[in-house]
Amino acid sequence: MSAEVVDSNPYSRLMALKRMGIVDDYEKIRTYTVAVVGVGGVGSVTAEMLTRCGIGKLLLFDYDKVELANMNRLFFQPHQAGLSKVEAAEHTLRNINPDVSFETYNYNITTMENFTHFMERISHGALDEGKPVDLVLSCVDNFEARMAINTACNELGQTWMESGVSENAVSGHIQLIIPGETACFACAPPLVVAANIDEKTLKREGVCAASLPTTMGVVAGLLVQNVLKYLLKFGTVSYYLGYNAMQDFFPSMAMKANPQCNDHYCRKQQEEYKKKEAAQPKVEIVEKEEEVVHEDNEWGIELVSEITEADLQAAAGPVPDLPEGITVAYTVPSEAPVEGETVDVADQSLEELMAKMRNL
Ligand SMILES: *[C@@H]1O[C@H](CO)[C@@H](O)[C@H](O)[C@H]1NC(C)=O
Ligand SMILES: *[C@@H]1O[C@H](CO)[C@@H](O)[C@H](O)[C@H]1NC(C)=O
Ligand SMILES: [Zn+2]
């Protein structure tokens, strides 16, 4: 990867991040492997951004085909209708940056056979063949697939990031999940940003979900920004970052793993993490919020509803009180999730849900 400043060098503007003092070692990006699960509105844009940034290798997983009904989103083009998303994406991405390696799988990761293969590729699919990928990104649109990724990553101890866009297209979120350390999908219900729209009018059987290229582009941007910060070690990596398009509100927070989590690999990873922590001098990783002084910050910016140390301590269980504007997407089913079904929590109050979560 050359830093030479000539018009023909596709990496010169990225390598300039080093001269600007943002990133110490940008070239390291060439050594990293990222798996993107779900190559739809968010996943395709995510894959394109990583490709243009010069990521070493991408693994793409999706069983869907390109449809004309998706043309309100970015990335795919009408002439690709009917092709598998992973095939169409690989073709486009190779043209954009031939330096990137690709591995694509056109299957449903939630079927038993393909799930086993998925786990195998996550644990051995890195550029350095035989090693696990550096990061898994969930860009899927349903609960079942998220739970499959959660299960795989808990078992493998694989760090991953989740992303989501609401069905009314005006809110989204990203979340970093480090097994054993931060809350997994079975530890607590997934969080979403409330969008100030009556949720009861949404999520009905057979009702077409709305989507906007803007919201999906914003969420993909937030996701890849977090990926770059995590991999290249600059700035502050977000544990949870929400986006509410209606109010331009970006709540952020962190959640610790739940010692009573239903997923036994999650509990096992928590034990390992505790041992690792005990062996090291105390380093606070989960909650390292900066002290924000509202009165005299030079821009006069006031922050709304950032979770504080006191809030976290006041929280009874492993789940902190949720900042204003964040709610839960689903309740965690007590048994195995019903196929393809998401639980609508619209008619329960947040207090009821939080009470249930504490009693898990
Ligand atoms: C994916 O596989 C699961 C489990 O077999 C199944 O319930 C689901 O309907 C499948 N999805 C599609 C779109 O085929
Ligand atoms: C994925 O599953 C299908 C059947 O569900 C099977 O035919 C196919 O071989 C599997 N692919 C891999 C790579 O495991
Ligand atoms: Zn868990």
pLDDT at 340 over 60: no
Ligand lying nearest the CA atom of residue 144: 1
Q: Could you report the per-residue pLDDT of 221-248, keeping only the tens digit for each?
A: 999 999 999 999 999 999 999 999 999 9
pLDDT at 89 over 90: yes
Q: What is the mean pLDDT of residues 54-72?
A: 96
Q: Which residues surround ligand 3, an ion (CB under 5 A)?
A: 184, 186-187, 261, 263, 266
Among 233, 211, 38, which residue's Cα sits nearest to residue 141? Answer: 38
The C-alpha atoms of residue 261 and residue 348 are separated, in whole angstroms, by 22
Distance 62 CA to ligand 2 centre (A): 13
Atom number, ligand 1, closest to the C-alpha of residue 339:
7
Atom number, ligand 2, closest to the C-alpha of residue 105:
13
Ligand lying nearest the CA atom of residue 186: 3
Ligand 2 pocket check for 114: Cβ under 6 Å: yes
CB 106 within 8 A of CB 118: no
Q: Could you report the per-residue pLDDT of 152-207, keeping only the tens digit for each?
A: 999 999 999 999 999 899 999 999 999 999 999 999 877 777 665 554 544 455 66
Residue 226 Cα distances to 114, 137, 240, angstroms? 28, 11, 10
pLDDT at 332 over 80: no
pLDDT at 270 over 90: yes
Q: Any residues with CB less than 8 A from the CB of 70 and at least 6 apart, and which?
A: 40, 41, 76
The C-alpha atoms of residue 120 and residue 228 are separated, in whole angstroms, by 25
pLDDT at 310 over 90: no
CB 32 within 8 A of CB 134: yes
The β-bridge partners of 296 are none
The C-alpha atoms of residue 171 and residue 214 are separated, in whole angstroms, by 11
CATH 3.40.50.720 fits 32-279, yes or no: yes
Strands 240-244 and 326-328: unpaired
The C-alpha atoms of residue 180 and residue 160 are separated, in whole angstroms, by 12
What are the DSSP calls for 113-176, one per residue?
Answer: HHHHHHHHHHHH-SSSTTSPPSEEEE--SSHHHHHHHHHHHHHHT--EEEEEE-TTSSEEEEEE
The C-alpha atoms of residue 251 and residue 63 are separated, in whole angstroms, by 33
Confidence (pLDDT) at 189? 74
Q: Could you report the per-residue pLDDT of 127-142, keeping only the tens digit for each?
A: 988 999 999 999 999 9
The C-alpha atoms of residue 251 and residue 192 are separated, in whole angstroms, by 10
208 is catalytic: yes
